[in-house]
């Protein structure tokens, strides 16, 4: 596979305030790009990060055929660069693409494009354990036709953003009992742009009511707990770590979720993957004090501890003294950043 490389004449890295990165605000000098037409991926290029020029009739604007991925690259104290389980993101991108009737991409294109770009942008990967380089591969439809059928042309692109620690403050959640981000038979298992679009309005409403995010429930009766914001959700009940199953096609199969479950088992924590109802968590908090922790898990924040959950007029609060979330977060970050042995083969050296 031949990647054409076109470099910037001068890096903009000196203009970036690495002490104040936020999340997804700054982008590195270059991007990887290729396009799909006549049934093939072609024109593999690494070029300066710049605006696209695409037609206003491009299908992505009208029908939303767009999927993406999110992962992080880390640098250890010896300047070695690592990705965390990138093959899982690769597989998931294709799974998402298939669901939206978009073309799959080969592992070679995905990994070669990503690794070559990472090597070029290595100065951009922060060394400090709290920061990392966020990697955003995405695919969009690009036929210039308004007919409402799948596109035949696509763009695949990878961009990088140096990011700070994802700080969300005290996380107060509201159980969403009206809106849904996904539906049975819908796009829940895909990392599709449209799922995010569906989530913004309910999330903003919750924010105006003083909440940080919503807990998504099933769209039938809003009875079963599914995700929190754009993260998978986990509870500590007594000495058990409990999380909903992902086999209903509605919950995104998080790489962090899977990794945390493996780590928890290895740390001797009892893991239960089963449906969880809203009623159950409120009952167990009130009656037996069995519910000790709730946290969201995902690439951006890794583990995000929850302070309270509100459902209609009832609120439960966590004292956050119990610490499965904290321990698991420390453990996974140590593996990601090469501070601890990786017996799972998750870390991929670039
Ligand atoms: C990306 C995402 C997650 C987390 O997946 P990771 O692979 O752990 O980053 C969870 N839920 C939704 C809806 C997502 O889009």
Q: For 326-337, what is each residue's pLDDT tens digit?
A: 999 999 999 999
pLDDT value of position 127: 83
Instruction: Report the nearest atom of ligand 1 relative to the CA of 191.
Output: 15
Q: How far is the CA of 258 from the centre of ligand 1 (A)?
A: 11
**Percent of the chain surpassing pLDDT 90:** 87
The pLDDT, as a whole number, for residue 322 is 61
Q: What is the mean pLDDT of residues 225-235?
A: 96
Mean of pLDDT values over 313-330: 87
- The stretch 1-22 carries a mean pLDDT of 94
Specify the ligand 1 atom closest to the Cα of 256.
8
Would you state the pLDDT for residue 319? 81
- What local confidence, expressed as pLDDT, does residue 248 receive? 87
pLDDT for res 64: 96
Which atom of ligand 1 is nearest to 88's Cα?
A: 7
**What is the b/e burial string over 216-247, where b = at least 16 CB atoms within 10 angstroms of the residue's CB?**
bbbbeebebbbbbbbbbbbbbbeeebbbbebe
Query: Is residue 191 within 6 Å of ligand 1 at its C-beta?
Result: yes
Q: How confident is the model at residue 289 (pLDDT cuts 50, 70, 90)?
A: low
Q: Residue 285's pLDDT is what?
A: 65
CA 188, CA 246: separation in Å to the nearest integer?
Answer: 10
Nearest-atom number in ligand 1 for the CA of 257 is 8
Residue 243 CB partners (closer than 8 Å, separation 6+): 232, 233, 234, 235, 257, 261, 271, 272, 273, 276
- Identify which has the larger pLDDT, 3 or 19: 3
- Residue 262: pLDDT band with limits 50, 70, 90: very high
- Specify the pLDDT at position 284: 79
Q: Is 298 in the pocket of ligand 1 (CB under 6 A)?
A: yes
Is residue 243 in contact with ligand 1, taking CB distance under 6 Å? no
Average pLDDT of the chain, as a whole number: 94
Q: What is the mean pLDDT of residues 79-89?
A: 96
The answer, yes or no, to whether residue 32 has pLDDT greater than 60, is: yes
Question: Over 70: is that where the pLDDT of 286 sits?
Answer: no
Gap between the Cα atoms of 94 and 105, Å rounded: 7
Cβ–ligand 1 distance for 256 under 6 Å, the answer yes
230 lines ligand 1 (CB under 6 A): yes
CB 254 near ligand 1, within 6 Å: yes
CA dist 172 and 170 (Å) reads 6
Does 25 score more than 60 pLDDT? yes
Q: What percent of the chain has pLDDT over 70?
A: 97
**Mean pLDDT, range 159-165, rounded to an integer:** 93
- pLDDT tens, residue by residue, 167-212: 777 899 999 999 999 999 999 999 999 999 999 999 999 999 999 9
- CA of 2 from ligand 1 middle (Å) equals 31
Probe target for ligand 1 pocket from 191, 200, 214, with the most ligand atoms within 8 Å of CB: 191
> For residues 161 and 166, which has the higher predicted lDDT (pLDDT)?
161
Answer whether residue 277 shows pLDDT above 60.
yes
232 within ligand 1 shell (Cβ under 6 A): yes
Ligand 1 contact, 299 CB (< 6 A): yes
Cα of 89 from ligand 1 centre, angstroms: 10
Q: What is the CA 230 to chain-centroid distance, rounded?
A: 7
- For ligand 1, is residue 231 a contact (CB within 6 Å)? yes
- Give the residue whose CA is nearest to atom 13 of ligand 1: 230
**Residue 273: pLDDT over 80:** yes
* Nearest alpha carbon, ligand 1 atom 5: 254
- Considering only residues 129 and 242, tell me which one the structure prediction assigns the higher pLDDT: 242
Cα 71 to the chain's mean position, in Å?
Answer: 7
Asked whether the whole model's pTM tops 0.85, one would answer yes
pLDDT score of 281: 92
- Please identify, by atom number, the ligand 1 atom nearest to the C-alpha of residue 195: 13
């Amino acid at each position: 596979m031949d990647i054409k490389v076109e470099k910037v004449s001068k890096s903009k890295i000196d203009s970036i305030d690495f002490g104040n990165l936020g999340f997804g605000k700054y982008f590195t000098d270059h991007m990887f790009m290729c396009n799909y037409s006549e049934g093939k991926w072609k024109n593999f290029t690494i070029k300066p990060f710049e605006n696209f020029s695409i037609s206003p009739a491009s299908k992505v604007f009208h029908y939303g055929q767009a999927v993406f991925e999110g992962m992080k690259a880390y640098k250890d104290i010896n300047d070695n660069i690592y990705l965390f389980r990138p093959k899982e993101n690769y597989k998931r991108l294709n799974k998402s693409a298939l669901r939206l009737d978009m073309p799959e991409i080969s592992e070679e294109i995905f990994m070669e494009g990503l690794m070559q770009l990472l090597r070029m942008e290595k100065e951009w990967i922060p060394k400090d354990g709290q920061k990392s380089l966020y990697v955003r591969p995405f695919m969009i439809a690009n036929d210039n036709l308004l007919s409402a059928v799948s596109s035949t042309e696509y763009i695949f692109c990878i961009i990088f953003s140096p990011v700070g620690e994802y700080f969300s403050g005290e996380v107060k959640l509201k159980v969403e009992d009206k809106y849904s981000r996904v539906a049975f038979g819908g796009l829940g298992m895909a990392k599709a742009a449209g799922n995010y679009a569906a989530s913004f309005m309910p999330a903003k409403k919750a924010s105006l009511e003083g909440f940080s995010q919503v807990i998504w429930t099933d769209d039938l009766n809003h009875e079963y707990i599914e995700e929190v914001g754009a993260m998978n959700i986990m509870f500590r009940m007594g000495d058990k770590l409990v999380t909903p199953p992902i086999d209903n096609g509605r919950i995104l199969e998080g790489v962090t979720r899977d990794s945390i479950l493996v780590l928890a088992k290895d740390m001797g924590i009892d893991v239960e993957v089963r449906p969880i109802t809203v009623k159950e968590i409120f009952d167990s908090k009130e009656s037996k004090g069995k519910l000790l922790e709730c946290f969201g898990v995902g690439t951006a924040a890794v583990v995000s501890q929850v302070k309270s959950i509100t459902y209609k007029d009832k609120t439960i609060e966590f004292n956050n003294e119990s610490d499965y979330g904290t321990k698991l977060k420390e453990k996974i970050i140590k593996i990601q950043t090469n501070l601890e042995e990786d017996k799972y083969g998750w870390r991929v050296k670039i």
